[in-house]
Amino acid sequence: MICLTGDIHHTSSRTNDQVYLSKIHTGESGMDTEVKISNKFLELAAEYGLKITFYITGLTLKEEWDDFKDIARSPLVELGGHTYSGIPLSGCEKIKYMLKGIKPPSHKSNYGSIKYQKKDISRTLKIIKDKTGQEVVSWRSHGYVHDENTYKLLNLFGVKFISDEISSNNIKPYRIKEGLISHPINAIPDHDHIFHAHRDKAFCNSAKLRGYGADIFGCENYYAEEWGELVRKQVLNIERAGGLTTVLMHPLCQFLADRFKTAEALFKFFSGYKTIWVKEITDFYDNI
Say if CB 138 and CB 124 are below 8 A apart. no
User: Per-residue DSSP letters for 229-278?
Assistant: HHHHHHHHHHHHTT--EEEE--HHHHHHHHTTHHHHHHHHHHTTS-B--G
Q: What is the pLDDT of residues 204-227, one digit of tens each?
A: 888 888 777 789 999 899 999 999
Say if CB 85 and CB 112 are below 8 A apart. no
**pLDDT greater at residue 132 or residue 29:** 132
How many angstroms from the chain centroid is the CA of residue 97?
A: 24
Say if CB 179 and CB 139 are below 8 A apart. no
Q: Strand 181-182 and strand 174-175: pairing?
A: antiparallel
Residues 2-284: name the CATH superfamily. Answer: Glycoside hydrolase/deacetylase (3.20.20.370)
User: What proportion of the chain, given as a percentage, has pLDDT over 90?
Assistant: 80
Q: What is the dihedral of CA 146, 147, 150, 152, to 10 degrees?
A: 140
Choice among 8-22, 39-53, 87-101, 144-158 with the minimum mean pLDDT = 87-101
Which segments of the chain does DSSP mark as H helices, in order? 16-23, 34-47, 58-72, 91-99, 114-132, 150-156, 201-210, 224-240, 251-258, 261-270, 281-284
Q: What is the pLDDT of residues 156-167, one digit of tens each?
A: 999 999 999 999
Choice among 62-71, 96-105, 197-206 with the minimum mean pLDDT = 96-105
Q: What is the pLDDT of residues 94-146, one digit of tens each?
A: 777 777 777 777 778 899 999 999 999 999 999 999 999 999 999 999 999 99
* Cβ atoms within 10 Å, residue 145: 17
Residue 246 forms beta bridges with which residues? Answer: 3
